[in-house]
Amino acid sequence: MAGLMQMPNGQMIQPQIVLLREGTDTSQGKGQLISNINACMAVVDSVRTTLGPRGLDKLVHDDRGTTTISNDGATIMKLLDIVHPAAKSLVDIAKSQDSEVGDGTTTVVILAGEFLRECKPFVEDGVHPQNIIKHFREAAQMAIARVKSLSVSIEGKDAAEKRELLKKCAMTTLSSKLVGGEKEFFGQMCVDAVMHLDQDLLDPRMIGVKKVMGGSMRESFLVDGVAFKKTFSYAGFEQQPKYFDNPTVLALNLELELKSEKDNAEVRLTDPAKYQEIVDAEWNIIYDKLAKCVDSGAKVILSRLAIGDLATQYFADRGVFCAGRVAEEDLLRVTKSTGARIQTTVNDLTPDQMGTCEVFEEKQVGNERFNLFRGCPASKTCTLVLRGGAEQFIEEAARSLNDAIEIVRRAVKNAAIVPGGGAIDMELSRHLRDHARGIAGKGQLFINAFARALEIIPRQLCDNSGFDATDVLNKLRQKHALGDGSGVNFGVDVNTGGVIDAYEAFIWEPALVKINAIGAACEATCLILSIDETVRNPRSEGADGQPIHAPGGRGGRGGGESQGRGARSR
């Protein structure tokens, strides 16, 4: 009789066990899984039309009034305020694809959505999710292995040929962007930018991007060094020289201006003449610093901190250019390219602490003035100056070039490419279908479903281009089914609505993009399939509608009633 409770009428009952707080929402079983799949498919539909060279853009307007126009999958997924807990996993895979590879963010989201769409009938028919997960992971591993076997290495080429191959990869990425009309111009610019970097590190932070409104896209240019916007300046700035050949560059992290005392110091004087000595001492300190800067032989002086009006006029009188309050990332790139070392004192300056460049000049770009350092001997950095008619357009151009630069970086490090235009996806689909025929049991259906899902990429390319997807996919299946393997590289021709040898047409993408996309999409699908219950805890509210914390809990910020350490007890 242990564990039973007696009611007033003498009846013995089992007491109710309360595990979750009242109002907790629990959803479980097949219905919950299908609900998660439907939510993910709804998210995918919002980015589906942005895929490919004929993809459309999305305009996202947030509550702060910021307007963003983009067709970059990762950018759109970040801006969408997705509240469904399962659908947020699609945002995560788009972010991971963006950080890991730089391109293919729309592809990975669409693939994940299509995998889930193919799973839905099996789940509705009562198939256990673990069976689907097992065979999907097997199919993903086979697909990745097939991508590696089909990839073509661009290693061993001479420098000119390799640059041309990298340019083709960049142009493939840019073809689906807002700047696709000038993909050859910007593709060359992206390759040049990456080739200016340290080829061992390929640090993307060493590529600066400056945006100047006005002008056309073709007025954008690449600086083989550093360019940054003119900083705040005082009256004497216009008297300074704005052009130097082979100048010596001094980089400082030091204020060159008169500063008031930070502490309230009291000085008692018995002789009024002593007061002038104290004032003169302050002036002597700043003049001593300025004289040491000029004596060092530097012609261009940059500082991360302020350079005051006195110092500006002093340098102007002696034919020296100075700029204060230079942004930290700009100063870092200047030191990397010129070989200068940032100094925190002007005492004992030596020539090896200075940097140099072939040409320093101040140049007018649109309504802005830029300081340019060209022909740097230790040049491991460069700067892209982008022009355009509208702010949103320049922002999207910067995002597009970032994707192209990332792709070129990856192609330099992992020099393996595969044909794009849906060619590799159709070949993977054919390969998995052939393999599935040799499997006895339900696994054949699941691997066939995975193969069918891969066809969404060429199908969506056709839909976004306004062509009949069924007709084009039938042509592609016929090409890829040829026994001699001559149709392996055929993909969608978005210009004519037919099929084209993507490799011969230079529609290339790094193999790493496709490998990462398939792996991430499969993992996201398996994650969502493995969820069979969602528990949503309610927020307990006090009388004033504000959240309160459970008794005995640690309490959060702003509770108002808890006493901090050292608080006076009441």
Q: Is 105 a catalytic residue?
A: yes
Check 403, 425, 493, 501 and give the catalytic one: 403
For residue 382, the cross-strand partners are: 207
CB 187 within 8 A of CB 195: no
For residue 359, the cross-strand partners are: 245, 374
**Taking the CA of residue 344 as centre, how many other CA atoms within 13 Å lie in the half-sphere pointing to its CB?**
0
Report CA 110 to chain centroid distance, whole Å: 19
CB 148 within 8 A of CB 510: no
Q: Is 534 a catalytic residue?
A: no
Q: Which two tokens stand for residue 266?
A: 């009291």
SS3 382: strand
Check 50, 68, 72, 312 and give the catalytic one: 72
- The neighbour count for residue 241, using CB atoms within 10 Å, is 16
**In this structure, are strands 225-229 and 368-374 parallel, antiparallel, or unpaired?**
antiparallel
CB 362 within 8 A of CB 369: yes
SS3 360: strand
For residues 33 and 240, give the distance between their C-alpha atoms in angstroms, rounded to a whole number: 69
For residues 322 and 562, give the distance between their C-alpha atoms in angstroms, rounded to a whole number: 54
Please give the single-letter amino acid code of residue 416: A
Q: Which two tokens stand for residue 307?
A: 């350079």
Check 50, 68, 75, 105 and give the catalytic one: 105
For residues 302 and 317, give the distance between their C-alpha atoms in angstroms, rounded to a whole number: 17
Q: Is 72 a catalytic residue?
A: yes
Q: Which two tokens stand for residue 117?
A: 């769409």
For residue 168, report the phi and psi dihedrals to the nearest 5 degrees: -65, -40
SS3 359: strand
Q: Given 3-state DSSP classes, what are the helix, strand and coil percentages for the chain, each rounded to the nearest 5?
A: 45, 15, 35
Angle at the Cα of 443 (from 438 to 512), degrees rounded to 5? 85
SS3 319: coil
Task: State which H helix or E strand residue 112 sits in.
Answer: helix 105-124
Report CA 412 to chain centroid distance, whole Å: 19
Check 68, 75, 106, 312 and give the catalytic one: 106
Q: Which residues contact 204 (CB under 8 A, 6 or more apart)?
A: 405, 406, 409
Q: Write the DSSP string, 85-96.
A: TTTHHHHHHHHH
Q: Which two tokens stand for residue 476?
A: 């592609």
Q: Is 271 a catalytic residue?
A: no
SS3 69: strand
**Taking the CA of residue 12 as centre, how many other CA atoms within 13 Å lie in the half-sphere pointing to its CB?**
4
- Which residues are tagged catalytic? 72, 105-106, 403
